[in-house]
Amino acid sequence: MNEIIINIDSYNDYTNQYNSNNLSTKLSNYIYEECKGKPINKKIIINIKSTYHISEEEKKDIVNKIHSNYKTDLDEHLLMIKHLNIKSFVVFLLGVLFLYIYYFIKINFVLSETILIVGWVAIWEVVYAWLFERDKNNIKIKRLKKLSICDIKFEEI
């Protein structure tokens, strides 16, 4: 179990200063940073300790803000990955096209070699992203999913 402890002294500690319907950016970043280095397969529990009495309605509001914050982050990250995958596919096809041009059209040595290098570099970038960057994205997606459905406990201190 991954437990994250948050100390709240007032309403302003968890509310975004520009939009009271959203979670504070500082708190959002703190929660995500606390998840780093912890096993991604274990359940996340957020323990909110407050120095003042939090009403049931306010508790529901906090839970909703935390869950919706990470659900929004998850949706945004998935959208970015979708666009990255489309871009990678296009770059891969361009790399193949450059290799095709190299093998069938011999213009001059320098231009031909430049086309060959550009083709291989384009293909390598896609392969590198698929082999290495994909793991980072998958870990972030798993963390954001866990945070979007995490259990939240409240405790007055």
pLDDT at position 157: 81
pLDDT at position 108: 84
Residue 65: burial class (beta carbons within 10 Å; 0-12, 13-18, 19+): buried
pLDDT at position 31: 94
Which residue in the block uniquely carries the two structure tokens 């359940």? 43
In the predicted model, what is the mean pLDDT of residues 38-61?
Answer: 91
pLDDT at position 56: 93
